A and B are shown apart, each in its own frame.
Chain A
Amino acid sequence: GAVVSQHPSRVICKSGTSVKIECRSLDFQATTMFWYRQFPKQSLMLMATSNEGSKATYEQGVEKDKFLINHASLTLSTLTVTSAHPEDSSFYICSARDPGGGIQETQYFGPGTRLLVL
């Protein structure tokens, strides 16, 4: 149980275009999902917390107009990188909290999306 999928796994786009990344909880309903960014050989950096049916909460320094998050259902959250630039190239990971899965703070992770902006 507690499987999270993420799509696409890899995307290459031109500078100035927008890219949407989907995160789905496959076998549980996730009221809360998280979006992280991970630079090479570094730890996870939390970008935002996404709650179903409400606006996402962004961490300090993360531009909410650039990284649009939508959590329209209990199984789907999307991250859209708008007007992407080369400095947005990174590994983006989503996670979901399973409220019915024992320790509620446990996060289950998607496989990540590697974004390369040319």
Chain B
Amino acid sequence: AQTVTQSQPEMSVQEAETVTLSCTYDTSESDYYLFWYKQPPSRQMILVIRQEAYKQQNATENRFSVNFQKAAKSFSLKISDSQLGDAAMYFCAGGVDSNYQLIWGAGTKLIIKP
């Protein structure tokens, strides 16, 4: 069985500062994939960043980067230079090869303070 846990229901950060959102992913599979999706008020789910578990190097996409600690089952998302447009719900998700389904965390609401 796979589980995804996001323990922060809400986070807030000052504009231009850095914030880290936490996620843990537990699976018995050795090969899996992890994702962070953003859902702004429009409710359109947008892929932010993705990571293959077998890769040592942490993924980065401009201001977004992950800190993947495989042994600790931790997959945190760091947002640098936070912008007002980053305000959204952020969902962590994980999946394995066998069925392509994703298991979703409960989400973290990110508030950006101007």
Contact = CB atoms under 8 A, between A and B. Distances in A.
Interface in B65-114: 91, 95-97, 99-102, 104-107
A57 B47 CA distance: 24
B102 A107 contact: yes
Interface residues of B, number: 23
B42 A111 contact: yes
A105 B100 contact: yes
Contacts of B101: 34, 46, 49
Contact of B52 (A49, A93, A97, A103): A103
B16 interface: no
A60 interface: no
Given A105-B95, A107-B102, A43 B107 contact: yes
